Amino acid sequence: MENYISVKETAKRWNISPRRIQMLCNENKVLGAKKHSGVWLIPCGVKKPERMKLGAKRKDTATLRVLSLFSGCGGMDLGFEGGFRVLRKSVNTTIHKEWKIEEEGENWLRLPKNKYRTVFANDIKPEAKAAWSNYFKKRGLDGTSYYLDSIVDLVKLEKENKRNIFPESVDIVTGGFPCQDFSIAGKRLGLASDKGHNGKKMNRNGPTVENRGQLYMWMREVIAMTKPKVFIAENVKGLTNLHDVKEIIEKDFSLVCNEGYLVVPARVLNAARYGVPQGRERLIFFGFKKSELTGEALEKLSAEKVDPEYDPYPIPTHYLEREKRLKDELPFVTVRNAFIDLQEPDKSEDVSQQKYSKAKFMGKHCQGQQEIKLDGIGPTIRSEHHGNIEFRRLSKEHGGVYDEELNIGMEERRLTIRECARIQTFPDDYDFVIPRQGENLSVSASQAYKIIGNAVPPLLAFHIAKRLEENWRKYFGDSND
C-alpha cells in the first residue's frame, strides 16, 4: 500500500514552499497526489516535477483559471470549459463564424473548447458534487477540487489560517448565489432570508450576513481574497423588481478591495435568445478589476452607455417573435427540436431517460400540471421534483392535445430527467442518475431533477464565457499571452 506524506514534509524535501506544492497538486503535476478532507497527501517516493527548460513555453500558458462558487452540477463550469455537444439549431454560425465548430451528424454540433480551466468548485449539496465529479472527471478535472462546504465556512477557514482553501492566480470568479429568496416562486424575503448559509431554517431574530439571501456578500469576500481580473455573478430576474436589491448588490460588489472593481450595470439575459430551448431569464453581473484593465477599456466600460465593442454581454443569436427579428438571427429552438432522437422511457437504454416522476395529475390549479408545448419554447426548468415537474404528455381527459401520440397508446407522463437536461442544454453524456461511487453519494431521480433545475444552462454560460474570451485582450492587454 502506498505511503503518503504531508505537503509540509514534501516542501522540506524539495526545498520549495508549501503553497507551491499545493499549486503543483492543483495543476495535477504531482504524480499520485490525492486530497483527503481538503488536505493534499503526497506519495512518499514521488519525484519533484522537472523545471521547464529556459525559454520553453508551458502548455497551459494561455489558460484562464476559473474559481467557481455555488457550482451545483456545473452548468456554468461546463459553459466556460466548452467542448460539449449541442443541437445544430442552437448555434448561429452566421453570427459566430469565428467559432471552430465540429459537426456530429445531421442534428448535432460540438462547441469548441475554451481557454478556461476550473480550478475550484463548491456547493453544499452532496448530490450536486457527486454528479459534477462523475461528469467532469471524464474531462480531466479532479473531483477533489470540489469542496462540499458552505462558502461561509470556507471563507472563515481561510481567514483563520486553519487551511489554505482558495487557489492562487485566479483569473475569473463565477457564482450563481442562491436565488430562492429572490424568486417570484418563493417567499421573496430577499436579503432578509430566514434560511442560513447551509440551507437550514435560522432561529435568529432579524437579518444576518450569514443568511441565504446575503450569500453574495461571501462571494464578495472570496473576490477580495483571490483578486480575479473579472467576476461574474448570476441570479433570477425576480431580483430586479424586489425593492432596490439589484442596486444594493451592484454597489456592494463595487466596494470590493477599496472600490477596486468596476461593476457594469447588471442585465437580464433570456436563454432562449441564445439557442436554449427554454424561456429562462437570468440576471448577470460583471465586475472588472480596475487596476488590470487597459486605460481604454476602463474608459469604455465606465461610460453611461457601454461601447458595443467592449460590452461584456453576449450578442443574442435567436429571435422570439418574428416581427422583432434582428439581422441574421435564427428562430428560437423548440422543445420538439430539443427532444430529437429521444426514445420513450421503456425503450431507452439511457437511465436518465428511463426515469421520470410518477406523480399523478392533480388539477391545473397546481404548479407543474401543464403539458409542454412541443412547438414552443420549453418551460423554465425549476429545482423541483415529483408533482411539480411538467408533463410531457397528458391524457385527453386531462386536456392533452397530442392525439397522434395518445392514439398509438403513449402514456400520460411527466418529463424525464434527460428531457429536462435537454431543455437545459446539458449533453447526453452527462449522467444524472448515478450509483454511489467511492466517497460520492448516489444521485436519485428526485435529486437529479433538483440539480438540473438549479443549473445555469451550459449553452448560455458558453455564450457568456466566449464573449469574455474574445474580448480578453481588449480588456486586459497581453497579460495572459
358 band by pLDDT with thresholds 50, 70 and 90: very high
* Least confident interval from 64-68, 233-237, 312-316: 233-237
In sequence order, the 6+-apart residues with CB closer than 8 A to the CB of 307 are 300
Q: Report the candidate in 307, 215, 225, 290 with the shortest Cα–Cα distance to residue 254.
A: 290
Whether 116 has a pLDDT exceeding 80, the answer reads yes
Whether 398 has a pLDDT exceeding 60, the answer reads yes
> Higher-confidence residue: 212 or 107?
107
Tell me: the pLDDT tens digits for 217-267?
A: 889 999 999 999 999 999 988 776 766 788 888 898 999 888 999 999 999
Q: What is the pLDDT of residue 179?
A: 52
Q: Report the candidate in 428, 352, 314, 417 with the shortest Cα–Cα distance to residue 85.
A: 428
- What percent of the chain is predicted at pLDDT more than 70? 88
Catalytic residue of the set 44, 179, 366, 420: 179
Q: What is the pLDDT of residue 180?
A: 47
Whether 34 has a pLDDT exceeding 90, the answer reads no
Highest mean pLDDT among 41-55, 220-234, 357-371: 220-234
> Higher-confidence residue: 141 or 49?
141
C-alpha count within 13 angstroms, C-beta hemisphere, residue 247:
4
E-assigned strand segments in 44-203: 64-69, 85-87, 102-103, 108-110, 116-122, 146-147, 172-175
Task: Look up the pTM and report it.
Answer: 0.82
Average pLDDT over every residue of 412-420: 97
Q: Report the candidate in 473, 440, 429, 471 with the shortest Cα–Cα distance to residue 110.
A: 429
62 band by pLDDT with thresholds 50, 70 and 90: low
* Least confident interval from 88-97, 103-112, 121-130, 136-145: 136-145
190 band by pLDDT with thresholds 50, 70 and 90: very low
**Set of cell numbers at residue 235:** 441570479
Q: What is the pLDDT of residue 197?
A: 41
Read out DSSP for 406-466? HHTTPPPEEPBHHHHHHHHT--TT---SB--BTTBPPB-HHHHHHHHHHSPPHHHHHHHHH
Backbone torsion region of residue 460, taken as left when φ is above 0, otherwise alpha when ψ lies between -120 and 50, otherwise beta: alpha
Q: What is the pLDDT of residue 159?
A: 85
Highest mean pLDDT among 61-65, 88-92, 356-360: 88-92
Amino acid at 105: G
**Helices marked H in 272-349:** 295-302, 335-338
Average pLDDT over every residue of 337-363: 95
Average pLDDT over every residue of 9-13: 82
Whether 449 has a pLDDT exceeding 60, the answer reads yes
**Set of cell numbers at residue 454:** 438549479
11 band by pLDDT with thresholds 50, 70 and 90: confident
Q: Any catalytic annotation for residue 179?
A: yes
Q: Using the 8-state DSSP alphabet, how is residue 57 labeled? A: P
